[in-house]
């Protein structure tokens, strides 16, 4: 595989051509990308009323491979009618995530029942009848409702309302498996669960920490912002167990100088051991305190817990820090020195921080470090969880959580004159465990890939298999439709965001609410999420109740309710008239006023966890490639890491020697959750010995179901594994994990729709 020495650049430009050809030409792709719809991929936020490829600061063009991949996927042709009678359940299960995604758009409801081999196309009437019948035959708490962060605010609000009026709080979203620790950690420390800055704040920062993530792959437009921090003489400090190519140097295609000569991103790059972030963060705090760089007046007036934290830091030994982080004081001190000199600092992080059983502690340790120098509550400084899906934050704001905020609970009851259930709701892992135990019988999944995003994939398949009915609302096929099967599985085809018949709204990770105009449907068959939800609610709950559900198939009307019920969303009431997009009130902090009971930021103390594993094991982190977004795989190759397949384990050459493995040979990987055989051993010197990486979601077979007690998020980024050479060289590559060179994939590709 051709290696690249920087991210972005000409390969991104050529990739744009490739995608343009796939969808019928550059003009067709351009028009789709320029439509007034929010970008469908990540939460950095793009598009909306200022037109596609425009960011919150009004800068144009802003486009990246991720946004093109998502658009091209929605511009695919329809899955051919004979597809469902051609491929059996077993054959679909052998498809890779990429193969399923590229089968085309789902355009008809389909059903698969236990014991049957083929999905059957069914009519919408049949689908509604079956789902309604089942919902009426179980008790509300025998159901759960799972939401992806790709759906609109209106669909999220309406479906959580339907589920609650139906009688359950088993309502949760995909952030339980990604950024929940950010929400819980920030709320505990600052009283608010989202970013405290706007995108524009980054234009004033002179130092940005990028912790536990690879935005060069997953949020590429952030690279332009970081390039400008460096060009202004600022610093970017990257903390990541893997030395990521795009975080060292990134050629921003839309900037001529950068395109030709590249742009240095990281001014300092530090690689802790997997799971060593907490110790490293405390090491930095200890150094700041020791060098007298702590902002004592801020800590005294705006924070509580400083005295205890200072004592803890002074008693913490550098040996413990070094052992548990894998980073020496000699590396930590210069980073702290740079932090001490900076005036406006932003701390950004992703799942390398949240995907741990101590994820909440990691987030609170980042807040501690920020508070030590008063880096919140002023322009250009603050906390920035770099979130995943384009509307994952909006879905949370809409009340898609097991427990509603009290004010939202009260206002919902008042506004709709209803009594809402008060039974405790289950989080995502709680639902899977309950399904496995036979306590829930039915699940409704609005977008996403619940099976694919679950840890312990074998357990997840069994759990979903216990359900009487699972209903998926999706645009394209994914591994959940092949492996996450219940006794009866129904897939309902939905319209993409830019095909919606009515405007919808989305919220970016910077608390910015965009209005997406929608657009013409590309295929006959799929329906809007809001219309399906309104129809189902009408059929299940009837027309006699307090809510006229069919009239709720009106996103404008839903926005009127959101404006009256959800704090900070008042402006959404006029957005249809004003077309004025807005920041949610009370979220961006330019004054050090925190929404905690005391009005002060809370500093926490955490015991540093032991470094996972021992001599005979490795610490594994699951990773996303440059060719995927969350569970959706668009390309099998990982350009920035120089890897051309997904059935690999990335190991440092020293570990390959130490464990008597062969580079390019096959290995068996074991963990407490399961085992994977026939995994290709791929030498990778960009990770420290003792640590390893494999691709998500395929490696979820190895991820145990243990969760962070605060966020209920599994530890996808720290799994203790054993690696041994394959018993026999003849061991076949893994099923369902193909590489571009895989003949089977080629043969299937020719037989599929587009």
Question: Interface with ligand SF4 by CB under 6 A: which residues?
Answer: 39, 41-42, 44-46, 62-64, 66-67, 219-221
Q: 59 or 487: whose CB is closer to ligand SF4?
A: 59
In contact, 484 and 451? CB cutoff 8 Å: yes
Q: 109 or 220: whose CB is closer to ligand SF4?
A: 220
Contacts 24+ apart (CB under 8 A), 264-268: 264/230, 265/216, 265/223, 265/226, 265/227, 265/230, 265/236, 265/238, 266/210, 266/236, 266/237, 266/238, 267/230, 267/235, 267/236, 267/237, 267/338, 268/235, 268/236, 268/237, 268/238, 268/334, 268/335, 268/338
What count of other Cβ atoms lies within 10 Å of the Cβ of residue 174?
A: 28
Least separation in angstroms between CB 559 and ligand SF4: 22
Q: 62 or 141: whose CB is closer to ligand SF4?
A: 62
Least separation in angstroms between CB 38 and ligand SF4: 8
Least separation in angstroms between CB 519 and ligand SF4: 17
Least separation in angstroms between CB 350 and ligand SF4: 12
Least separation in angstroms between CB 62 and ligand SF4: 6
Least separation in angstroms between CB 44 and ligand SF4: 4
Q: 298 or 582: whose CB is closer to ligand SF4?
A: 582
Q: In sequence order, what are the residues at sequence separation of 6 or more whose Cβ sits closer than 8 angstroms to the Cβ of residue 452?
A: 97, 478, 479, 480, 483, 484, 631, 697, 700
Least separation in angstroms between CB 31 and ligand SF4: 16
What count of other Cβ atoms lies within 10 Å of the Cβ of residue 138?
A: 14
Q: 46 or 621: whose CB is closer to ligand SF4?
A: 46
Least separation in angstroms between CB 64 and ligand SF4: 3
Q: In sequence order, what are the residues at sequence separation of 6 or more whose Cβ sits closer than 8 angstroms to the Cβ of residue 132?
A: 536, 539, 540
* Token code pair at residue 355: 């995907």
Query: Is the bond preceding residue 61 a cis peptide, omega within 30 degrees?
Result: yes
Q: 41 or 449: whose CB is closer to ligand SF4?
A: 41
Q: DSSP for 93-125?
A: HHS-HHHHHTT-B--S-EEEETT-SS-EE--HH
Q: 42 or 721: whose CB is closer to ligand SF4?
A: 42
What is the H or E stretch that residue 265 is in? none
Q: 42 or 412: whose CB is closer to ligand SF4?
A: 42
Let me know if 68 is exposed, middle or buried by CB neighbors in 10 A (0-12, 13-18, 19+): buried
Dist CA 651 CA 666 (whole Å): 12
Dist CA 279 CA 329 (whole Å): 11
Q: 476 or 682: whose CB is closer to ligand SF4?
A: 476
Give the alpha-carbon dihedral of 474, 476, 482, 486, to 10 degrees. 10
What count of other Cβ atoms lies within 10 Å of the Cβ of residue 139?
A: 10
Q: 627 or 736: whose CB is closer to ligand SF4?
A: 627
Least separation in angstroms between CB 49 and ligand SF4: 15
In contact, 572 and 563? CB cutoff 8 Å: yes
Least separation in angstroms between CB 102 and ligand SF4: 19
Give the alpha-carbon dihedral of 54, 56, 59, 63, to 10 degrees. -40
In contact, 384 and 213? CB cutoff 8 Å: no
Dist CA 93 CA 438 (whole Å): 24
Q: 44 or 532: whose CB is closer to ligand SF4?
A: 44
What count of other Cβ atoms lies within 10 Å of the Cβ of residue 325?
A: 26
Q: 372 or 509: whose CB is closer to ligand SF4?
A: 509
Report helix, strand and coil shares of the chain as percent, to nearest 5: 40, 15, 45
Question: Of 121, 75, 128, whose CA–CA distance to 496 is shortest?
Answer: 75
Least separation in angstroms between CB 51 and ligand SF4: 13
Q: 447 or 736: whose CB is closer to ligand SF4?
A: 447
In contact, 185 and 710? CB cutoff 8 Å: yes
Q: In sequence order, what are the residues at sequence separation of 6 or more whose Cβ sits closer than 8 angstroms to the Cβ of residue 54?
A: 46, 47, 48, 60, 61, 62
In contact, 56 and 200? CB cutoff 8 Å: yes
Q: How far is CA 594 from CA 153, 223, 365, 587, in A?
A: 26, 30, 17, 10
Query: Is the bond preceding residue 730 a cis peptide, omega within 30 degrees?
Result: no
Q: 71 or 530: whose CB is closer to ligand SF4?
A: 71
Q: 220 or 305: whose CB is closer to ligand SF4?
A: 220
Let me know if 637 is exposed, middle or buried by CB neighbors in 10 A (0-12, 13-18, 19+): middle
Dist CA 30 CA 482 (whole Å): 33
Q: DSSP for 361-412?
A: HHHHHHHHHHHHTT-SSBTTBEEEE--SBTTHHHHHHTT-SSS--HHHHHHH
Q: 111 or 386: whose CB is closer to ligand SF4?
A: 386
Q: DSSP for 309-327?
A: HHHHHHHS-HHHHHHHHS-
Least separation in angstroms between CB 223 and ligand SF4: 9
Q: 70 or 536: whose CB is closer to ligand SF4?
A: 70
Least separation in angstroms between CB 716 and ligand SF4: 21
For the chain, what's the residue count? 754
Q: 219 or 538: whose CB is closer to ligand SF4?
A: 219
Local structure of 186: helix, strand or coil: helix
With b for 16 or more beta-carbon neighbours within 10 A and e for fewer, the 484-511 pattern comes to bbbbbbbbbbbbbbbbbbbbbbbbbbbb
């Amino acid at each position: 595989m051709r290696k690249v020495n920087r991210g972005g650049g000409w390969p991104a430009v050529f990739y744009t051509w490739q995608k343009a050809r796939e969808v019928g030409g550059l003009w067709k792709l351009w028009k789709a990308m320029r439509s007034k719809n929010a970008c469908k991929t990540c939460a950095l936020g793009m598009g909306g009323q200022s037109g596609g490829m425009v960011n919150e600061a009004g800068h144009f063009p802003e486009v990246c491979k991720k946004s093109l991949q998502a658009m091209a996927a929605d511009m695919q042709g329809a899955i051919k009618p004979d597809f469902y009678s051609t491929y059996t359940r077993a054959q679909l299960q052998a498809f890779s995530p990429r193969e399923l995604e590229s089968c085309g758009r789902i355009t008809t409801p389909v059903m698969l029942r236990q014991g049957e081999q083929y999905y059957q196309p069914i009519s919408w009437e049949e689908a509604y009848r079956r789902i309604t019948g089942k919902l009426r035959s179980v008790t509300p708490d025998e159901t759960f409702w799972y939401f992806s962060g790709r759906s609109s605010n209106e669909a999220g609000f309406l479906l959580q309302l339907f589920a609650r009026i139906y009688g359950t709080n088993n309502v949760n979203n995909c952030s339980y498996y990604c950024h929940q620790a950010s929400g819980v950690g920030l709320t505990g420390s600052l009283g608010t669960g989202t970013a405290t800055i706007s995108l524009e704040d980054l234009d004033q920062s002179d130092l940005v920490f990028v912790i536990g993530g690879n935005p060069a792959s997953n949020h590429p437009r952030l690279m332009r912002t970081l390039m400008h921090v460096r060009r202004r003489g600022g610093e970017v400090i990257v903390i990541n167990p893997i030395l990521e190519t795009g975080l060292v140097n990134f050629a921003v295609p839309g900037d001529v100088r950068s395109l030709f000569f590249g742009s240095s991103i990281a001014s300092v790059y530090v690689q802790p051991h997997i799971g060593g972030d907490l110790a490293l963060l405390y090491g930095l705090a200890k150094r700041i305190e020791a060098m007298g760089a702590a902002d004592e007046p801020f800590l005294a007036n705006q924070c509580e817990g400083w005295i205890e934290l200072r004592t803890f830091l002074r008693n913490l030994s550098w040996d413990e820090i070094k052992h548990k982080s894998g980073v020496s004081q000699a590396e930590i001190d210069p980073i702290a020195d740079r932090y001490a000199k900076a005036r406006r600092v932003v701390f950004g992080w992703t799942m390398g921080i949240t995907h741990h059983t101590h994820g909440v502690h990691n987030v609170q340790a980042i807040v501690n470090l920020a508070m030590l120098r008063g880096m919140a509550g002023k322009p250009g400084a603050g906390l920035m969880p770099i979130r995943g899906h384009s509307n994952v934050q909006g879905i949370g704001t809409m009340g898609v959580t097991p427990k509603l905020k009290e004010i939202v609970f009260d206002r919902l009851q008042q506004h709709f004159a209803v009594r809402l259930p008060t039974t405790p709701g289950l989080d995502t892992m709680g639902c899977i465990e309950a399904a496995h135990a036979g306590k829930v019988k039915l699940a409704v999944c609005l977008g996403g890939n619940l099976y694919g995003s679950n840890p312990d994939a074998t357990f997840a398949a069994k759990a979903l298999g216990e359900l009487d009915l699972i209903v998926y609302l999706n645009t394209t096929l994914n591994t959940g439709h092949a492996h996450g099967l219940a006794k009866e599985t129904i897939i309902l085809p939905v319209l993409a965001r830019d095909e919606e018949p009515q405007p919808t709204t989305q919220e970016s990770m910077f608390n910015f609410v965009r209005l997406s105009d929608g657009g013409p449907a590309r295929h006959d068959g799929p329906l809007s999420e809001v219309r399906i939800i309104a129809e189902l609610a009408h059929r299940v709950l009837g027309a006699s109740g307090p809510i006229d559900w069919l009239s709720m198939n009106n996103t404008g009307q839903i926005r009127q309710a959101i404006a009256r019920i959800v704090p900070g969303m008042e402006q959404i009431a006029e957005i249809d008239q004003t077309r004025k997009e807005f920041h949610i009130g009370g979220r961006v902090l330019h004054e050090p006023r925190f929404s905690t009971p005391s009005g002060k930021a809370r500093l926490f103390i955490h015991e540093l966890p032991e470094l996972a594993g021992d001599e005979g094991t490795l610490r594994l982190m699951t990773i996303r490639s440059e060719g995927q977004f969350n569970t959706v795989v668009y390309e099998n190759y990982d350009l920035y890491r120089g890897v051309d397949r997904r059935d690999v384990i990335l190991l440092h050459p020293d570990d390959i020697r130490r464990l008597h493995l062969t580079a390019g040979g096959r290995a068996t990987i074991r963990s407490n959750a399961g085992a994977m055989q026939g995994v290709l051993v791929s030498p990778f010197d960009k990770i420290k010995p003792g640590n390893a990486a494999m691709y998500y979601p395929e490696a979820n077979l190895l991820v145990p179901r243990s969760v962070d007690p605060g966020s209920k998020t599994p530890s996808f980024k720290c799994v203790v594994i054993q690696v041994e050479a394959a018993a026999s060289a003849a061991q076949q590559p893994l099923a369902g994990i193909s590489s571009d060179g895989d003949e089977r994939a080629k043969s299937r590709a020719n037989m599929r729709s587009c």
